[in-house]
Amino acid sequence: MLRFKFNIILALSLGVLLLSASYLFYQAAGFPFPASAEPFVEPTGSSMEHTPTSEEEITEDKTVPAITREIPLPPPPRTATVIAVGDIMVHQTQFVQAYDANKNRYDFSPSFESITPYLQSSDLAVGNLETTLAGPERGFSAFPRFNSPDEIATALRGAGFDLLCTANNHSMDSGQKGVSRTLEIIEGAGMKAFGTARSQDERDTPLLVEENGINLAFLAYTYGTNGIPLPAGREYMVNLINKDLMHYHIQQAYQAGADLIIVYMHWGWEYRSEPSPEQKELAHFLAEAGAHIIIGSHPHVIQPMEYINTEDEHGNKHRAFVAYSLGNFISNQHRIPGAIPTHEVEYGMLLRLHLKKDTPDQAAYLDNVDYKLTWVDRAGRHRIIPLPPVTEDLPRPPFIPEGKWPEIRETTIMLQERLSRFSPGEFALPHQELDKPAPDI
């Protein structure tokens, strides 16, 4: 009996050994093991009848990486900043100061040393050049007919300017040759100009500038040219304020692909702190025609800023921003009894426009506006001084002459009240510029 049981156990053991050997042979040879001969494995889980799907097998098999799908993130908004300034004038005192007899050339760069970091902190800087660059052969001159050394263009470019408006009442001061040469010198210095032209085609082709994916069109118009007629057959040389022409150019700008349209207007009454009825009416016309930003010059003093909301016959709403006058950026103007009635001509502003485009398919818009006031120090050498936001109890900044501080503080507070709908901006500058000492003035 014992022998019989021993034989059974021995047979079963041999069978298991043979079965295991066969399984190892098939695995080593790369053949699938016969289904009928696979060893039985007790299934796990709550149901004996559940058969895992292929997806479940992949998920459960830790040696096979899970298949993931990356969801693309939307592109970040596109932004750009534009700094606009008012009138850039060169009176006789300025170019006499700028002359270097040892080098027999002019150097205007000291006038812009303190303001350069602010201009260069923007993506684009633009101003109104209220003089001509007709060359030394014509003789340099100031009011009533301006002709300035070419070096003023070099200094403006070095300070950070990218664009210059050339449509103003002094555009024709040096005749049609002066108009053409002024454009050549500006372009040769590495900038672009708008508002005057050398041909009909140039006049009717809006200046488009792309900045950070936002296309900006720049247009400019003046009320006149101080009685100097435009050349017969070449009336295109200076853009005069004409509603049909302005409407046409705005439509041309849209067709050329402009996201935003910026219009410089040389208008209004000199030395008036409030816009004239004509300025107001023209601003509303430009807003209704599709302009987004309207920047004024010619009064030589700072005037208020506002938003204009319009709606067409189809119910489409449009908002435009207007700064009626940015004052003087640089000049030798000061209060002269019987001629210039206010010391406000010594002040100007850097207007900073924050532009935004949320997605490539959406329209660009003016997201925010802020500013920094400036003052021209005429003692020794004309210099543009950026002013901090001023309060009654603000101590005198070290770069302001002690004798001028009471007047500057009082005037600055008054100008801030005039611009009270908008707040002064904190202009972020490179650290090294903040640490630089103020120039001697």
Span 294-325, pLDDT tens digits: 999 999 999 999 999 998 878 889 999 999 99
What pLDDT was estimated at residue 56? 45
Residue spans of beta strands (DSSP E) within 118-178: 124-129, 163-165
User: How does residue 236 score in pLDDT terms, banded at 50, 70 and 90?
Assistant: very high
pLDDT, greater one: 47 or 339:
339
What pLDDT was estimated at residue 57? 46
Q: What is the mean pLDDT of the chain?
A: 87
| Angle between helices 243-255 and 277-289 in degrees, nearest 10 | 30
Contact predicate 174/134, CB 8 Å: yes
Q: What tokens were used for 239?
A: 């853009």
What pLDDT was estimated at residue 429? 83
What pLDDT was estimated at residue 337? 95
Mapping DSSP to helix (H, G, I), strand (E, B) and coil, where does residue 277 land? helix
Q: CA 314 to CA 311: how far, in whole Å?
A: 8
What pLDDT was estimated at residue 338? 94
Q: DSSP H helical segments within 41-198, as ranges? A: 54-60, 92-98, 116-120, 151-159, 175-188
Q: Which of 318, 342, 356 is nearest to 418 (CA)?
A: 342
Over range 338-342, report the average pLDDT. Answer: 96
Contacts 24+ apart (CB under 8 A), 70-77: 74/359, 75/359, 75/360, 77/356, 77/357, 77/358, 77/359
Vertex 277 angle, CA 369 and 367, to 5°: 15
Over range 390-395, report the average pLDDT. Answer: 89
Q: DSSP H helical segments within 122-270, as ranges? A: 151-159, 175-188, 200-203, 243-255
User: How does residue 35 score in pLDDT terms, banded at 50, 70 and 90?
Assistant: very low
What pLDDT was estimated at residue 65? 54
Q: CA 38 to CA 23: how far, in whole Å?
A: 8
Residue 419 pLDDT > 80: yes
pLDDT, greater one: 54 or 175:
175
Contact predicate 220/165, CB 8 Å: yes
What pLDDT was estimated at residue 44? 45
Q: What percent of the chain has pLDDT over 90?
A: 75
- What are the phi and psi torsion angles at 356 (to 5°)? -150, 150
Over range 191-199, report the average pLDDT. Answer: 98
pLDDT tens figures, 254-295: 999 999 999 999 999 999 999 999 999 999 999 999 999 999
Residue 88 pLDDT > 70: yes
Q: CA 384 to CA 328: how far, in whole Å?
A: 10
Could you tell me the domains of the chain?
Answer: 79-434 (3.60.21.10)
What pLDDT was estimated at residue 63? 52
What pLDDT was estimated at residue 18? 52
Over range 189-216, report the average pLDDT. Answer: 97
Q: CA 262 to CA 161: how far, in whole Å?
A: 16
Mapping DSSP to helix (H, G, I), strand (E, B) and coil, where does residue 170 land? coil
Region class of 83: left (phi > 0), else alpha (psi between -120 and 50), else beta:
beta
Which range has the worst mean pLDDT, 32-36, 151-155, 173-177, 284-288? 32-36
Q: What tokens were used for 289?
A: 């025609």
Residue 336 pLDDT > 50: yes
Region class of 33: left (phi > 0), else alpha (psi between -120 and 50), else beta:
beta
Single pTM value for the model? 0.82
What pLDDT was estimated at residue 360? 87
What pLDDT was estimated at residue 71? 78
Give the single-character DSSP code of 438. P
What pLDDT was estimated at residue 46? 42
Q: What percent of the chain has pLDDT over 70?
A: 82
Mapping DSSP to helix (H, G, I), strand (E, B) and coil, where does residue 320 land? strand
For residue 149, cis peptide bond before it (omega within 30 degrees of 0): no
Over range 370-378, report the average pLDDT. Answer: 97
Residue 403 pLDDT > 80: yes
Q: CA 300 to CA 309: how far, in whole Å?
A: 27
Query: H or E stretch including 406?
Result: helix 405-418
